[in-house]
Amino acid sequence: MPIQTGTDTAKTRRSLEVGGQKIDYYSIAAATEAGLGDFSRLPAALRVVLENMLRFEDGGRTVSTEDISAFAQWAEKGGKNPREIAYRPARVLMQDFTGVPAVVDLAAMRDGIKALGGDAQKINPLNPVDLVIDHSVMIDEFGTPRAFQFNVEREYERNIERYQFLKWGQKAFRNFRVVPPGTGICHQVNLEYLAQTVWTDQDQDGKEVAYPDTLVGTDSHTTMVNGLAVLGWGVGGIEAEAAMLGQPISMLIPEVVGFKITGALTEGVTATDLVLKVVQMLREHGVVGKFVEFYGDGLDHMPLADRATIANMAPEYGATCGFFPVDDETLRYLRQTGRDEDRIALVEAYAKENGFWRGADYAPVYSSTLELDQADVVPAISGPKRPQDHVALTDSAFEFRKYIAGTRKLAEPTRNGTRAWSSEGGSPAPNELPGHHEGYKSGSVDGEDYKLHDGSIVIASITSCTNTSNPYVLMAAGLVARKARALGLNRKPWVKTSLAPGSQVVEEYLKAANLQEDLDALGFNLVGFGCTTCIGNSGPLQPEISKSVNDNDLVAVSVLSGNRNFEGRISPDVRANYLASPPLVVAYAIAGDMNIDLTNEPLGFDPDGNPVYLKDIWPSSTEIAELVDTVVTREMFRTKYADVFKGDERWRAVEVTDSETYDWPASSTYIQNPPYFRGMTKEPGTIENLDGARIMALLGDMITTDHISPAGSFKPTTPAGQYLTERQVSPRDFNSYGSRRGNHEVMMRGTFANIRIRNEMLDSVEGGYTKGPDGQQAAIYDAAMAYAEQDTPLVVIGGVEYGAGSSRDWAAKGTNLLGVKAVIAESFERIHRSNLVGMGVIPFEFTEGDNRKTLNLTGDEVISIDGLEGDLAPLAMVPCTIKYVDGTEKQITLRARVDTEVEIEYLRNGGVLHYVLRNLAAS
């Protein structure tokens, strides 16, 4: 489909000659010549957004000359001018956990528009949409040559209904492609293949136009592609659906934080260590809702794979994106990964012509800046609960013991020389560990019993888009395995090991380097191509290990090369989760115990009884770089991506019907028609005041979307498990919350059901519980349904950074379907705030220093909020009345975090999809 440009864009349109051919583009320099302002010192990340304004200028209907001039004023005002703008990304990227509910919504919208008398064909993506199936594979089998084959077979058994539905969507909707399971992780496929940095297409007049590659994705780590100078970020599925259907994204011109990188990494330090330090620094700086742009001569020493690692974790440092301008390294990576030479030439010419190139004189204005010398970065891990909890590797064992001491309410440990604890001799005996026990027998290998204790590492996983896209850390992991194997070391028998690469190219170069054999020898066999452990699909532990952990209330540990380590995410049996580089994951699998100080104590002993230390098996930077340069070839990428949409025989055998609307199977426990559009009228409603609402949950700081809508496994005793059991689904086939996102009945029951969430209305209770209308403890779903029967509205109270983490729209959808009308918190993370508005739930922020503690909230109060009816303005201050149990009342002021006029329209319509659906039906 041709790109649609604006109606008033002629004055900024120019031609560029590349390879003997002319191509049109929208010139930022021409905008200055036209008197729209001086844009010469805008950061490259913001120039991408400005180009979008130039290309879609239409005289003010959505983009005006004032919108464009606002970018010049942004630079004049020192990097601040929060004007509302309408931004149109070029494409949309989805993965299956978020993509299935998005396609469910589109299918439901086709039913809905027909009910309003409209044409079902109007529900079609106008922008290209790619969906990569990467979240489904679960690690049932590991540590064996058959692990990959077994896990793939189980993946298809569990998910065939979902795959049939996605194949129907690929047939039914235009501009919609599906990358089959077993191909790779969506962000790595995007980085290695889909992204082009600069796109070309014909406009409505048939003329070829070049423009920056931009996208939004239904996964928060869409930001990874910013390492390739492609502006993209995560949004909820509902916002992505609106973008697909031609609705511009309403946003404020963001602040841009400049992060200056100098120097180079020292020997033994990895890109993972660098990004964990960056996450810590940017969380402390405060970048929520802001762009971050990386610059400085340190980028001259930073491979694009390392940049992608940093860009990937933008959600972890809270930014909208972490952008890297185009430079020589961008071109090198495009060439290495098999992009056409004509495209590479265009990227260079366009970037230099339109100011996206990072040269020696690159010195834009930033809203604020900070700086890091890479030489100051040290080996590190992050944990046990948050990505920003940076711990130097030298302090890891000591900090873990401090965490255990706090968990067990024991005195803090003390350091003794180079040791991380006060006991003498080698590794601590089980009875020296905080936990006052001698360890618990959990199993045996070759007749030798082993015991678990607090700190036993039961999961070690090389996984996720963050690191498996980076050949430098993957090769390092393989070399650690090779050196350890040569010295007779192996993983501990209680450690569940896995390797889940982000693309098939990784498998190819590990085999080419003969490193896969070494990884296999230590139990890091290929288990699948997908997110696996990082998304919570770590699969079950051995029954005896799980029983030992749970029967004895042990703090078991996981170590993964992922981006998220939130509570309850990785495994229900694991309470402490650490992020680490792939080579450190291998090392920790060998050690098997978080109490061991890897920098001072032996990981194990060779056949002669000699101690083997981490330094003995750690490869040099030169070894790694030489191997990458030798083994990772352009041809690998071109071969592996030649038939990327074809899939294997299983995928090709999936049969679907060809129909305009979906025939919803009544018996399906995976795909159900959601209730959002039932009984919808042609005219929007009004925003109403909130009167007499009860508090459903009283929550603390950094409540993540994993807390609100977990993605992992669940038990038969949960409301979701009971629902499936009643429909004759055995626990073996429950799959996960993430895979059930096409069924609102399961997802409602799973909302606020994380096993580690703590509702402060209840004393010392973990899990999804609250007080029902009768004042008794009940599952949140059951209590919400009881309140719904009484027509009682609900609110949720939170602390700072409410909604951090994944972009999952079900955290907002589930909140809405439980009857929650408002969420009141000290602050919100960007994506979740937008998702709440998109589902018709109003986010409010406390003001004037108020919070749940200063207001002495217990959860038994009644909440009323006025000032919502009539002409509610963006960011309006509204009165809220709190009625306490003793009858006293207190009035406070809340800020409505409805940031733009368009968002107010969304609320009047009941949500963004209702708004789009009414407009399409009326057009």
Q: For 646-664, what is each residue's pLDDT tens digit?
A: 888 888 898 888 899 999 9
Amino acid at 133: I
Q: Residue 830's pLDDT is what? A: 83
pLDDT: is 863 or 134 the higher one? 863
**Which tokens sit at 318?**
């809270």
Residues 500-504, mean pLDDT to the nearest whole number:
81
Other C-beta atoms closer than 10 Å to the C-beta of 460 total: 32
Residues 133-151, mean pLDDT to the nearest whole number:
80
CATH architecture of 690-701+793-922: Alpha-Beta Barrel (3.20)
Give the span between the Cα atoms of 64 and 9, in whole angstroms.
10
Amino acid at 370: L
Q: Residue 135's pLDDT is what? A: 72
Q: For 120-132, what is each residue's pLDDT tens digit?
A: 999 999 889 999 9
For the chain, where do the domains classified as CATH 3.30.499.10 start and end? Answer: 186-376, 380-424+433-635
pLDDT at 446 over 70: no
Residues 183-191, mean pLDDT to the nearest whole number:
86
Q: For 733-755, what is each residue's pLDDT tens digit?
A: 898 898 899 999 999 999 999 98
pLDDT at 313 over 70: yes
Q: For 814-858, what is each residue's pLDDT tens digit?
A: 999 999 999 999 999 888 999 999 999 999 999 999 999 999 999
Give the span between the Cα atoms of 532 and 536, in whole angstroms.
6
Give the span between the Cα atoms of 724 and 127, in whole angstroms.
37
pLDDT at 333 over 60: yes
Q: How confident is the model at residue 433 (pLDDT cuts 50, 70, 90)?
A: very low
Q: Residue 808's pLDDT is what? A: 78
pLDDT at 174 over 80: yes
Amino acid at 614: L
Q: Which of 889-916 are b and which e, b meaning 16 or more Cβ less than 10 Å from the residue's Cβ? A: eeebebebbbbbebbbebbbbbbbbbbb
- The most confident of the ranges 291-300, 823-832, 900-909 is 291-300
Q: Residue 717's pLDDT is what? A: 95
Q: Which of 506-536 are b and which e, b meaning 16 or more Cβ less than 10 Å from the residue's Cβ? A: bbbbbeebebbebbbbbbbbbbbbbbbbbbb
Q: For 682-699, what is each residue's pLDDT tens digit?
A: 999 899 999 999 999 999
Q: Residue 909's pLDDT is what? A: 95
- The verdict on whether omega for the bond into residue 793 sits within 30 degrees of 0, i.e. cis, is no
Amino acid at 248: P
Q: For 209-259, what is each residue's pLDDT tens digit?
A: 999 999 999 888 899 999 999 999 998 788 888 888 888 998 899 999 999
Instruction: Please name every residue paired with 24 in a beta bridge, in sequence order, or none if there are none.
Output: 15, 209
pLDDT: is 302 or 1 the higher one? 302
pLDDT at 420 over 80: no
Query: What element of type H or E holds 830?
Result: helix 830-838
pLDDT at 309 over 50: yes
Name the CATH superfamily for 186-376: Aconitase, domain 3 (3.30.499.10)
DSSP one-letter string for 723-777: HHHHTT--GGG---TGGGTT-HHHHHHHTT--TT-B-TTSSS-BSSEEE-TTSSE
**Residue 269 neighbours by CB under 8 Å, 6+ apart:** 374, 377, 378, 379
Residues 281-301, mean pLDDT to the nearest whole number:
95
DSSP one-letter string for 33-68: HTTS---TT--HHHHHHHHHHHHH--TTSS--HHHH
Among 464, 455, 448, smallest CA distance to 598 is for 455
| CB 79, CB 254: distance < 8 Å | no
Residue 389 is classified by DSSP as: -
Name the CATH superfamily for 380-424+433-635: Aconitase, domain 3 (3.30.499.10)
pLDDT at 445 over 80: no
- Any idea of the CA torsion for 422, 428, 432, 435, to the nearest 10 degrees? 110
pLDDT at 428 over 50: no
DSSP one-letter string for 570-587: S-TT--EEEE--HHHHHH
Q: Widest CA span of the chain, in angstroms?
A: 82
Side by side, which strands form the sheet with 368-373?
321-323, 291-295, 256-262, 368-373
Q: How confident is the model at residue 441 (pLDDT cuts 50, 70, 90)?
A: low
Orientation angle between helical segments 471-486 and 582-591, nearest 10 degrees: 30
For the chain, where do the domains classified as CATH 3.20.19.10 start and end? Answer: 690-701+793-922
Give the span between the Cα atoms of 126 and 244, in whole angstroms.
6
Q: How confident is the model at residue 883 (pLDDT cuts 50, 70, 90)?
A: very high
Q: Give residue for tokens 């005002």.
A: 77
Give the span between the Cα atoms of 299 and 296, in whole angstroms.
6
- Alpha-carbon Rg for the chain, nearest whole angstrom, is 27
| CB 708, CB 815: distance < 8 Å | yes
Residues 56-60, mean pLDDT to the nearest whole number:
87
What are the counts of helices (DSSP H) followed by strands (DSSP E) for the chain?
Answer: 31, 34
Q: What percent of the chain shows pLDDT beyond 90? A: 67
Mean pLDDT in the chain? 90
Give the span between the Cα atoms of 212 and 231, in whole angstroms.
8
Amino acid at 791: D
**Residue 899 neighbours by CB under 8 Å, 6+ apart:** 84, 252, 833, 874, 875
Q: Strand 877-883 relative to strand 889-896: parallel, antiparallel, unpaired? A: antiparallel
Give the span between the Cα atoms of 282 and 277, in whole angstroms.
9
